Structure 1
Amino acid sequence: MSDQRRQELDAAQLIYTKADWLDLLAKIATNSALS
């Protein structure tokens, strides 16, 4: 695997992880507001 391709995969993984975190935080905030 080339270095550039590896960097692209790392960047994509960071973006997905960030999106997962935002989704998780949103769920926590919603649960806190409801309870």
Structure 2
Amino acid sequence: MAKAKYNGHNADNALQIATQRELELRKGDGSRT
């Protein structure tokens, strides 16, 4: 059970990082235009 919780936490972090990256990329595109 602890293992499943740990895996879920990692997936959450990955999703958060991916969202942050996408926001930064969108910001960069907006600045260039």
Query: Smaller-chain TM-score range?
Result: over 0.9
Could you state the TM-score of these two structures normalised by the residue count of structure 2?
Answer: 0.93
**Structure 1: segments with no counterpart, 5+ residues:** none
Count of residue correspondences: 33
Q: Once superposed, what is the RMSD of the aligned Cα atoms? A: 0.4
Which runs of at least 4 in structure 1 moved beyond 3 Å after TM superposition?
Answer: none
**Structure 2: segments with no counterpart, 5+ residues:** none
Q: Which has the larger Rg?
A: 1
Could you state the TM-score of these two structures normalised by the residue count of structure 1?
Answer: 0.88
Identical columns (%): 3
